[in-house]
Every structure is written in structure tokens, then in C-alpha cells.
């Protein structure tokens, strides 16, 4: 077992030379070994950020402002930089950034490592084979047109080294698989090289250069991924459980056994062993071709959701969810509720159930709310992705309150949470399917005479890790007196449920 040293000394050295006021103009970018030009840099919170717009221009791409963000085009490929997100879109793919990108002095700034990665991916997608590098500190003069590499300016500033330059253990090709046993859940990490990890109570913490993607197979095991100083740290912990880890050879493996507490040994309730769902004894072995829709009534128990005009979101959401389930069944599909009474379920339990039941679609039912003084009405359907706008992001923060407020044992670093939510989506290529699903619901709502507002997107934690098309249905605004009254009305609930069930049928059949 080995432990990692902190790269703090290196960062400190960099900071000394990067104090504001230094007369350096930028870093020299090179493409396949050839100098491209100087890119403006700025130091912020002990990290070096580069102008992504200038970088794009010098690489022959077209940056332009889009909504509150930046769009960079090259041929038919594009990346989209969104405010307050530690991730960018590359088409439908989401690339997590090491740090949030930000706008300052009329430029978009991205951390230097992520900028290389993002631009490389964009150029590769547009059909160019490139390798980008920071060569050293430029002198502010225009980029040379000749092919020969320019000498690196003699200045006491070095670019931030690639992670591989650091003296830490580096494991490569790390993959994770899970096994389910009566008395334990086993996690196996396969890798080459040397893995940096340590045991923690109830689990393990590993550190790698690249992000290791995995989804918890069981609500008892909490997976967290954070990035700091160019490295990724993944922790897998079952709090209150005993865990054991050991290494094996050929191929190199780290095995972690999470021992079930003896009282919870329940072989009749197998956990999901990724990637294939475990058998489900309490369900008929064959669904006889009937698609299964899992309907999740938002909030419940100690979590009332939004409260306004004398109504509570958790109560109305459950009423609508139950009606939706019976309309879904009436149309020849199967439906299951994540809760059918007023009980509290953690956000990640909801999709875990849908995965375990091998659902074909997942709908989480909610009621929207706006702060005092703001008014809106209508039905909104959300998929999980980078936020459409500020309102969508604000809504996601409200619906994510459970994790943002730290009841998951996290101190509530919203940036890290957002980053890990978005990062997890990379392995979930359901964005396009979820969008079609949302659009089917929207058009069915329209033909059903409902006040349909929009299809939008935001990073909702409750949709994270769903292995099927998943949407969050905001049935209306509880903060709007007339609409709240309508939403509590059984005949309006019926109308709503009927139209949404038709949309589900249109999508699944």
C-alpha cells in the first residue's frame, strides 16, 4: 500500500512566480510540436487559467458568446462553456473540468489542464489529429508563422507540469466491477502500474490521474469523486460496515470487500451487480413484453419539498404519482412507485430502485416553486444535463437540497457536487433518449390541454445514475395560488396523469 504526497510545494513555487503584476504575457501553446502562439493567462486561487477564446482563435476555431456562455465551433463540432459549471458540453458528451470556467475582463478563463483536454477533444472531433502542449512562457509577440519551434523565453515561470511529472503513483487503465454475495459486496479495481490508495473506515479511497467512473450497486455504499490539484480521488464507503482490502496479481487488482452487517444479510433482496441487473425474485421472471415505468413521487416523510399556499409538495406529488401509475397500467404498461405512502427516501435510492427493477423509463414527479414576487405557471419537463439557464439551475439546487445541505455526509461544496453529478453522466449516454422521452411527454401534454411550459435541463441528483430514459416532471407551480389549488384538485390531477401516461405510452410503444 502506498500513500500520496501532496503536490503543495509545487503549487507554492508556481504561486511565487505568478503573483499578479508580473510582466509575462502568456503561455506558449504548441500543436503537434509546432508553436501556435501566446495565450493570455491569469492566476486565480493558486491555479493557472488560460483564455479559452484566444486559444480557440489561434487554433482556427470560432468562439462566440451564446446565452451567458461561450460557444466554440470547429467544422461541425462545438464545445459549449456554461457559467458556474465545472464542465463543458462537447456535442452530447460532457467533459468535467478541473475547475469552474469563469468570465473576467471580457474573456472566458479555463484552467490550463482542462483547456488542453477540451480543445484537443474538439479538434479530434472535427477530424484533426492533434496533440496540444504548453511549451513555456511566451513574450507577448505574435506567433511565428514558420514551422520551426521558437525558443522558450527565459523567464522564471514554468507551465504547470502534466500530472505524470509529479512523483506519485500512477495507475493506468483502471476499471471497476462489482460482485454481490450473501455476506458481502465486492468491489474489484483492475489496473496496470501502481495504484495509490488507502483504507478508510467502511471502505477505501483511491487516487488516480484520470477519473474512474463507477455507479454504486447498493444504496448502502456511497461513491464520491472529487478532483483536486490535477488528481482524482474516489471514495467508496459503506458507513457502519466493516471493509477489507487486499491486492492480487496478474492482472493487478485491488479487491475491497464490504461486509454486510449480519442483521442486514438478506439474500432474497440481491443488489445490482453492474453492469447487468441482478435477478428480481419478487417480480415475474418475464414481463410478457410489457414495459415497466417507475414513477417516483418526489420528497416524502421528513422532507416536505416546496411548501406554499397551504399545500405541501410531497402530498400532491404522491397523489399525482398514484394516478399516473394507474393510467400507465390502463394503457397496458406496468408501473411501480418508489414510495406509495408518506415516507422519506434518499435521492440515490430512487434511481437505484428503478435500476434494480430494470425499468424502461423513470419519471420523478414534483411541484415547482419560485421565490416571493416571481410568478410562473405551467408544466416543465427536465432532463439531467448542464443547466438551460439560471432558473433551471436554481430549481436543481432546490431539488438537490438533500446533498447540497450536506446530509450525505458532505460539507456541501456545491462545486464538487455539481462536478461529480455531471461527471457521472459521462457513463450515462441517456441524454438523447431522455430528451426524446421528455419531448413525447411535452407534446402529449399539449394535446391533452395542459399548460405546457417547456422542456429544459439541469443537473438533478435524483436522475443521476438512472440506467434508462429519465425525466423530472414539474407538474406546476405550488407557489402560484391558482395553480396550487388546481394541482390539489382531483379532476385536474386526473387530466394531468392521463396526458402524461399517454406520452409515456407514445414513447415506449
> Using CB under 5 A as the criterion, which residues of the chain lie in contact with Zn ion when the complex forms?
298, 305, 366, 399
Instruction: Dump the DSSP string for 271-309.
Output: PPBTTBPPP-TTS-S--TT--EEEEEE--BTTB---EET
Task: Point out which residues pair with 326 in neighbouring strands.
Answer: none
Q: Report yes or no: 79 and 87 within 8 Å, Cβ to Cβ.
A: no
Which residue has the closest beta carbon to Zn ion? 366
Distances (CA, A) of 7 to 14, 46, 99, 168, 441: 11, 12, 17, 9, 50
Distances (CA, A) of 177 to 104, 214, 226, 464: 43, 8, 20, 19
Q: How many residues does the chain have?
A: 509
- Angle between helix axes 313-330 and 490-508 (nearest 10 degrees) is 50
Maximum alpha-carbon separation in the chain: 76
- Residue with smaller CB distance to Zn ion, 168 or 316: 316
104's grid cell: 473576467
Taking the C-alpha atoms of residue 435 and residue 384, their distance in angstroms, rounded to an integer, is: 9
Instruction: Dump the DSSP string for 5-70.
Output: PPTHHHHHHHHHHT-TT-----EEEEETTEEEEEE-EEEETTEEEEEHHHHHHHTT-EEEEETTEE
Taking the C-alpha atoms of residue 58 and residue 55, their distance in angstroms, rounded to an integer, is: 5
- Residue with smaller CB distance to Zn ion, 209 or 399: 399
CB of 328 to Zn ion, least distance (A): 20
CB of 244 to Zn ion, least distance (A): 39
- Residue with smaller CB distance to Zn ion, 116 or 462: 462
375's grid cell: 410568478
Taking the C-alpha atoms of residue 459 and residue 395, their distance in angstroms, rounded to an integer, is: 9
- Residue with smaller CB distance to Zn ion, 207 or 474: 474
CB of 286 to Zn ion, least distance (A): 35
* Cα–Cα nearest to 483, from 340, 235, 270, 316: 316
- Residue with smaller CB distance to Zn ion, 86 or 321: 321
CB of 274 to Zn ion, least distance (A): 28
How many CB atoms within 10 Å of residue 280?
14
Residue whose C-alpha cell is 489542464: 113
Q: What sign for the dihedral angle of Cα 216, 343, 325, 485?
A: negative
CB of 479 to Zn ion, least distance (A): 12
- Residue with smaller CB distance to Zn ion, 69 or 298: 298
- Residue with smaller CB distance to Zn ion, 146 or 341: 341
Task: Point out which residues pair with 197 in neighbouring strands.
Answer: 206
CB of 462 to Zn ion, least distance (A): 9
CB of 314 to Zn ion, least distance (A): 8
- Residue with smaller CB distance to Zn ion, 185 or 320: 320
CB of 380 to Zn ion, least distance (A): 12
How many helices (DSSP H) and strands (DSSP E) are in the chain? 11, 28
CB of 105 to Zn ion, least distance (A): 39
Paired sense of beta strands 253-259 and 184-193, if any: antiparallel
CB of 366 to Zn ion, least distance (A): 3
- Residue with smaller CB distance to Zn ion, 89 or 362: 362
Q: Report yes or no: 380 and 368 within 8 Å, Cβ to Cβ.
A: yes
Taking the C-alpha atoms of residue 93 and residue 386, their distance in angstroms, rounded to an integer, is: 11
Q: Please report the beta strands in 107-241, taking only residues with DSSP state E, as ranges in sequence order.
A: 107-111, 132-137, 171-180, 184-193, 196-200, 203-208, 222-228, 231-237
- Residue with smaller CB distance to Zn ion, 367 or 422: 367
CB of 305 to Zn ion, least distance (A): 4
- Residue with smaller CB distance to Zn ion, 160 or 339: 339
- Residue with smaller CB distance to Zn ion, 221 or 472: 472
For 272, list phi and psi in degrees, rounded to 5: -75, 125
CB of 313 to Zn ion, least distance (A): 5
Amino acid at each position: 500500500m502506498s500513500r500520496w504526497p501532496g503536490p503543495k510545494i509545487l503549487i507554492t513555487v508556481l504561486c511565487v512566480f505568478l503573483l499578479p503584476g508580473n510582466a509575462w504575457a502568456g503561455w506558449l501553446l504548441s500543436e503537434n510540436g509546432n508553436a501556435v502562439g501566446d495565450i493570455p493567462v491569469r492566476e486565480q486561487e493558486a491555479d493557472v487559467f488560460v483564455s479559452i477564446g484566444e486559444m480557440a482563435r489561434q487554433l482556427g476555431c470560432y468562439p462566440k458568446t451564446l446565452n451567458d456562455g461561450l460557444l466554440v465551433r470547429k467544422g461541425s463540432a462545438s464545445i459549449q462553456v456554461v457559467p458556474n459549471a465545472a464542465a463543458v458540453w462537447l456535442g452530447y458528451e460532457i467533459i468535467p473540468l478541473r475547475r469552474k470556467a469563469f468570465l473576467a475582463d471580457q474573456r472566458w478563463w479555463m484552467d490550463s489542464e482542462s483547456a488542453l483536454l477540451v480543445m484537443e477533444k474538439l479538434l479530434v472531433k472535427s477530424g484533426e489529429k492533434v496533440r496540444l502542449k504548453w511549451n513555456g512562457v511566451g513574450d507577448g509577440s505574435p506567433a511565428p508563422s514558420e514551422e520551426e519551434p521558437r525558443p522558450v523565453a527565459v523567464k522564471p515561470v514554468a507551465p504547470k507540469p502534466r500530472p505524470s511529472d509529479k512523483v506519485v503513483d500512477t495507475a493506468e487503465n483502471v476499471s471497476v466491477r462489482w460482485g454481490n454475495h450473501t455476506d458481502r459486496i465486492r468491489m474489484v479495481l483492475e489496473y496496470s502500474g501502481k495504484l495509490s490508495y488507502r483504507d478508510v473506515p467502511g471502505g477505501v479511497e483511491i487516487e488516480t490521474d484520470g477519473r474512474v467512473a463507477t455507479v454504486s450497486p447498493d444504496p448502502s455504499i456511497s461513491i464520491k469523486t472529487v478532483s483536486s490539484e490535477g488528481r482524482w480521488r474516489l471514495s467508496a464507503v459503506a458507513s457502519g460496515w466493516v471493509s477489507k482490502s487486499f491486492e492480487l496479481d496478474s492482472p493487478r487488482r485491488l479487491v475491497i470487500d464490504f461486509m454486510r452487517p449480519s442483521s442486514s444479510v438478506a439474500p432474497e433482496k440481491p443488489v445490482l451487480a453492474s453492469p447487468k441487473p441482478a435477478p428480481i425474485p419478487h417480480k415475474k421472471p418475464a414481463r410478457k413484453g410489457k414495459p415497466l415505468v417507475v414513477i417516483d413521487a418526489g420528497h416524502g416523510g421528513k422532507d416536505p419539498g416546496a411548501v406554499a399556499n397551504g399545500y405541501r409538495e410531497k402530498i400532491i406529488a404522491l397523489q399525482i404519482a398514484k394516478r399516473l401509475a394507474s393510467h400507465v397500467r390502463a394503457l397496458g404498461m406496468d408501473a411501480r412507485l418508489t414510495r406509495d405512502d408518506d415516507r422519506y427516501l434518499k435521492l440515490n435510492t430512487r434511481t437505484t430502485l428503478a435500476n434494480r427493477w430494470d425499468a424502461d423509463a423513470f419519471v420523478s414527479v414534483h411541484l415547482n416553486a419560485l421565490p416571493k414576487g416571481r410568478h410562473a405557471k405551467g408544466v416543465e419537463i427536465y432532463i439531467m444535463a448542464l443547466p438551460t439557464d439560471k432558473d433551471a439551475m436554481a430549481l436543481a439546487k432546490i431539488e438537490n437540497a438533500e446533498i447540497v445541505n450536506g446530509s450525505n455526509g458532505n460539507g456541501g461544496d456545491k462545486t464538487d457536487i455539481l462536478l461529480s453529478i455531471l461527471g457521472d453522466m459521462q457513463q450515462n449516454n441517456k441524454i438523447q433518449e431522455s430528451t426524446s422521452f421528455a419531448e413525447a411527454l411535452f407534446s402529449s401534454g399539449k394535446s391533452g390541454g395542459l399548460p405546457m411550459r417547456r422542456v429544459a435541463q439541469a443537473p438533478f441528483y435524483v436522475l443521476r445514475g438512472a440506467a434508462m430514459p429519465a425525466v423530472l416532471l414539474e407538474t406546476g407551480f405550488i407557489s402560484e395560488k391558482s395553480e396550487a389549488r388546481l394541482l390539489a384538485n382531483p379532476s385536474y390531477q386526473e387530466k394531468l396523469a392521463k396526458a402524461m401516461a399517454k406520452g409515456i405510452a407514445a414513447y415506449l410503444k
